[in-house]
Amino acid sequence: MPIQRPTTAIIGAGISGLTTGKMLSDYDIPYTVFETSDRVGGNWAFGNPNGHSSAYRSLHIDNSKSVCRFFDFPMPESYPDFPHHSHIKAYLDSYADTFGVRQNIEFQNGVVQAERRAGGGWDLIDQRGDTRSFDALVVANGHHWNPRMADFPGTFTGTEIHSHYYIDPTHPLDLRGQRILVIGFGNSAVDIACELSQKSLGNTLTLSTRSGAWVVPKYLFGKPIDSYYSDGGGLLAKLPAHWQRRITRDFPKLISGDPVKYGLPQPDHNYGESHTTMSSEIYLRIGSGDITPKPNVELLDGSTVRFTDGTAQDFDVIIYATGYDITFPFFDPEFLSAPDNRISLYKRMLRPDIDDLIFVGFAQAIPTLFPFVEAQARLAAAYLAGTYRPPSPVEMEQVIADDEAFYLGHYTDRPRHRQQVDYFHYERQMKTEELPAGWERARREGPVKLEGRMGVSA
């Protein structure tokens, strides 16, 4: 008699959906990937017709290829240290083809509505209007596609755009000879500000930041800076997290200088308590007079923007690089949502009260998402195959609280930090503790039985 496996739907064919599909294949778990686009890659598919890519034409990854990759599928040696988005897209295409994931993807057929049956299992309505039934559901639709705009008092009469829609200096807006304000100080804000501040474009570029940020360059002593703390090349990754933060607290000042000396506000947090901005160019552009730093916006007053330092400037365009909201458009909000980007999940994956629903990729993993989602997909596959069992719901709730205190307790309480995870700690804990403990629970108590609830099995 063939072994039964739960039929599984995966929403999204970005890095999380592709990795989950590959891992489910390893366990012979039947699955279907629902993708609204005509291609794989999600956020990394430049010009993605479903509108879910925030890649701009000049985008390169912020972490080096030695860190930003899947363990079982290294990036080609021919790739530069910091690949272009087109390299990443080609890498994901190759991944999907090598592991046979593409053949399980239904392109241009996303999930419009997902409803859980009372007895377990899922009814999905796809874009074609068909109702599809599955034993389990994996949500992998990403969290960098629904732009969040800043809410300032007043009204701006010029042009406003979120960085999500920025492509290059001439698309979708002609950003030449303009007075431009970029709001934000993350990697996208800094990249776009540096690009648009080139003198050849004739712009006046101002960069506004509410809380400041610590800046580190992409290279240190001729090596990608992340190689010094990655598991493969650095001692730091092996130290306890609080030691890492203490040892590196003054690191940005030593290698890049004090942000205040560049006219930026003093960060309202220590290094390691908010996102680090990776840039080898921003201080040069400020020091060259190409970018004027400003503190937070106080008021939008027609074409004039007033800042909290009492100064004011006139602008033609505001670009908001102000982050994203986590959104599940296929769920009834009363069933499940993530207000202010808050969603409590066991190991950032499981709801204690819903045993046939798995989330993959819903974390801001430091330093990178690629190996993080690989670790999550490995647990998801073991869970669906019955070789891993989570603890009781009561224990799961306690672990959720403990993990959130550990990962988030030292971060500033803002929407962009509410899914923060230290990948190196997470991956080691999963490998050495969680998966072995889950295997023992499954051996002792039996697996969580998901297959056959819908009367459908492999």
On average, the pLDDT of the chain sits at 91
Of the residues 300, 320, 340, which one is the last residue of a structural domain? 320
Place of tokens 């072994």: 3
Q: Are residues 128 and 170 in the same domain?
A: no
Q: Give domain status of residue 451, yes or no.
A: no
* 291, 282 Cβ separation under 8 angstroms: yes
Indicate left, alpha or beta for 121 from its phi (over 0: left) and psi (-120 to 50: alpha). Answer: left
Q: Give domain status of residue 21, yes or no.
A: yes
Q: Are residues 63 and 211 in the same domain?
A: no
As a whole number, mean pLDDT of residues 12-18 equals 97
β-pair partners for 70: 73
CATH code, domain with 269: 3.50.50.60
Q: Give domain status of residue 26, yes or no.
A: yes
Of the residues 299, 320, 341, which one is the last residue of a structural domain? 320
Q: Are residues 308 and 172 in the same domain?
A: yes
SS3 category, 244? helix
Half-sphere exposure of 223 (CA within 13 A, CB side): 11
Among 50-64, 87-101, 185-199, 441-455, the range scoring the smallest mean pLDDT is 441-455
Q: Which residues, 6+ apart, have CB-to-CB distance to 366 below 8 Å?
A: 420, 421, 422, 423
| Whole-number pLDDT of residue 267 | 84
* 91, 97 Cβ separation under 8 angstroms: no
Q: Give domain status of residue 74, yes or no.
A: yes
As a whole number, mean pLDDT of residues 403-421 equals 66
Among 157-166, 216-225, 311-320, the range scoring the smallest mean pLDDT is 216-225
Confidence bin at 239 (pLDDT 50/70/90): low
Confidence bin at 241 (pLDDT 50/70/90): low
Distance CA 182, CA 176 (A): 14
Instruction: Examine the pLDDT at 457 and tell me if it is beyond 50.
Output: no
* 180, 305 Cβ separation under 8 angstroms: no
CB atoms within 10 A of CB 375: 24
Confidence bin at 412 (pLDDT 50/70/90): low
Place of tokens 């006046």: 204
As a whole number, mean pLDDT of residues 103-131 equals 97
The domain in which residue 223 lies consists of 154-320
Place of tokens 């993350």: 186
β-pair partners for 171: 168
Beta pairing, strands 297-302 & 223-224: unpaired
Q: Are residues 343 and 216 in the same domain?
A: no
Q: Are residues 267 and 310 in the same domain?
A: yes
Instruction: Examine the pLDDT at 336 and tell me if it is beyond 70.
Output: yes
Confidence bin at 380 (pLDDT 50/70/90): very high
Distance CA 146, CA 332 (A): 17
Q: How far is CA 244 from CA 92, 236, 403, in A?
A: 32, 6, 18
Distance CA 181, CA 161 (A): 11
Q: Are residues 158 and 110 in the same domain?
A: no
* 451, 135 Cβ separation under 8 angstroms: yes
As a whole number, mean pLDDT of residues 295-311 equals 97
Q: Which pTM does this prediction carry? A: 0.93
As a whole number, mean pLDDT of residues 218-226 equals 90
Instruction: Examine the pLDDT at 233 and tell me if it is beyond 50.
Output: no
Residue with more model confidence, 231 or 448: 448
Instruction: Examine the pLDDT at 410 and tell me if it is beyond 60.
Output: no
Q: Are residues 231 and 379 in the same domain?
A: no
Q: Give domain status of residue 458, yes or no.
A: no
Q: How far is CA 365 from CA 198, 204, 360, 369, in A?
A: 32, 35, 12, 5
Distance CA 343, CA 213 (A): 25
Among 108-112, 240-244, 276-280, the range scoring the smallest mean pLDDT is 240-244
* 275, 213 Cβ separation under 8 angstroms: yes
**Maximum pairwise Cα distance, the chain:** 76
| Whole-number pLDDT of residue 417 | 53
| Whole-number pLDDT of residue 416 | 59
Of the residues 320, 352, 385, which one is the last residue of a structural domain? 320
Q: Are residues 306 and 332 in the same domain?
A: no
CB atoms within 10 A of CB 93: 16
Distance CA 108, CA 128 (A): 9
Instruction: Examine the pLDDT at 93 and tell me if it is beyond 60.
Output: yes
Distance CA 161, CA 258 (A): 30
Q: Give domain status of residue 93, yes or no.
A: yes
Is the four-CA dihedral 324, 326, 330, 332 of positive or negative sign? negative
| Whole-number pLDDT of residue 418 | 62
Q: Are residues 132 and 260 in the same domain?
A: no
Place of tokens 């474009």: 201
Q: Are residues 172 and 299 in the same domain?
A: yes
Q: Are residues 182 and 282 in the same domain?
A: yes
* 183, 319 Cβ separation under 8 angstroms: yes
Distance CA 418, CA 38 (A): 31
Q: How far is CA 366 from the centre of its chain?
A: 10
Count structural domains, the chain: 2
| Whole-number pLDDT of residue 238 | 64
Q: Are residues 252 and 191 in the same domain?
A: yes
Structure tokens at 31: 């699955």
- pLDDT tens per residue across span 259-301: 999 999 888 777 766 678 999 999 999 999 999 999 999 999 9
Q: Give domain status of residue 1, yes or no.
A: no
Distance CA 370, CA 233 (A): 18
| Whole-number pLDDT of residue 203 | 98
